Amino acid sequence: MMAAAQTPPPVLLSSACERNKEPILAVLRDWLPNKALVLEIGSGSGQHAIFFCQQIAGLCWQASERPEVVADLRSQLVAVPGASLAPGSRLLEPIELDVTCCDHWPRPSEGNRVDALFSANTCHIMPASALPQLLAGAARLLRPGGLLLLYGPFQDGGVHTATSNAAFDAHLRSLDPAMGVRDAKELQEQACSLGLEPLADVAMPANNRILVLGRRR
Ligand SMILES: C[S@@+](CC[C@H](N)C(=O)[O-])C[C@H]1O[C@@H](n2cnc3c(N)ncnc32)[C@H](O)[C@@H]1O
């Protein structure tokens, strides 16, 4: 477990995280096994990691970020006192992980296989070419029957499910043509070819979803 440091409490950086953490928590409670080792991809501010470990007992959460920003994540998590976490829950030292380094994903600092991979609002930020790498990496790291949970906005068969998502997609592409709201059906088809199977598609507030995929046994 990370030691509590003599530093100020973490600054909460993402208002989106504050809005979506409770609805996501409810889905994690439904799907995660007791005593789960979870790897989070693109942990950002660390708010999800902290909140879920404060709310769910027996969770071992491995946050991660791209090498260029992992120090910011580490400084957020190091300020969280272990005593504030739920019984038996632990926040591991964050690791560097860029999903496009497909052959060199580091293992979590504990355990070779994880029970679940979680990632929020990353699919539309990373290029579309990174999605098969994310899925393949998940299939390598998940134990058989383990879960991949992807939170965010998604299209269906090239059609946006809400005008707000279409506007968000246009905004992302204007910032960087490599970003954009991804297609759930395309992602699920890619996942099937990589050893994962779609298990659920959970509607979330503000036209977001959680796609749940399971590693084949
Ligand atoms: C919009 S932020 C979401 C952060 C956090 N998960 C949240 O929900 O607030 C997108 C995140 O994706 C991460 N990301 C982008 N490309 C990535 C890649 N190739 N590998 C891992 N993470 C990546 C970014 O570093 C960033 O933290």
CB 154 within 8 A of CB 209: yes
How close is the Cα of 48 to the center of ligand 1, in Å?
A: 12
In ligand 1, which atom is closest to the CA atom of 47?
Answer: 9
pLDDT at 104: 75
Pocket test for ligand 1, best of 61, 62, 66, 68 (most atoms within 8 A of CB): 66
CA dist., res. 150 & res. 199, Å (int): 12
CA dist., res. 48 & res. 58, Å (int): 16
Q: What is the pTM of this model?
A: 0.95
What tens digit of pLDDT does each residue of 55-74 get?
999 999 999 999 999 999 99
Domain spans of the chain, in order of start: 15-215
pLDDT at 215: 98
CB 59 within 8 A of CB 39: no
Q: What is the fold, at CATH topology level, of the domain defined by 15-215?
A: Rossmann fold (3.40.50)
Helix residue ranges, H only, the chain:
15-31, 47-55, 70-77, 131-141, 163-175, 184-193
Residue with the smallest CA separation from ligand 1 atom 23 is 42
Q: Which residues pair with 61 in a beta bridge?
A: 38, 91
pLDDT at 7: 52
What tens digit of pLDDT does each residue of 18-57 get?
999 999 999 999 999 999 999 999 999 999 999 999 999 9
pLDDT at 172: 98
The pLDDT averaged over each successive group of 10 residues in the chain (217 residues) is 52 87 98 97 97 98 96 94 96 96 82 94 98 96 97 97 98 98 98 98 98 96
CB 49 within 8 A of CB 176: no
pLDDT at 105: 87
pLDDT at 95: 96
- Candidates 48, 65, 23; CA nearest to 209 is 23
CA dist., res. 123 & res. 17, Å (int): 16
pLDDT at 1: 54
CA dist., res. 157 & res. 169, Å (int): 15
Hunting for tokens 């699919």 — which residue is that?
Answer: 123
- Candidates 154, 138, 212; CA nearest to 186 is 154
How close is the Cα of 38 to the center of ligand 1, in Å?
A: 16
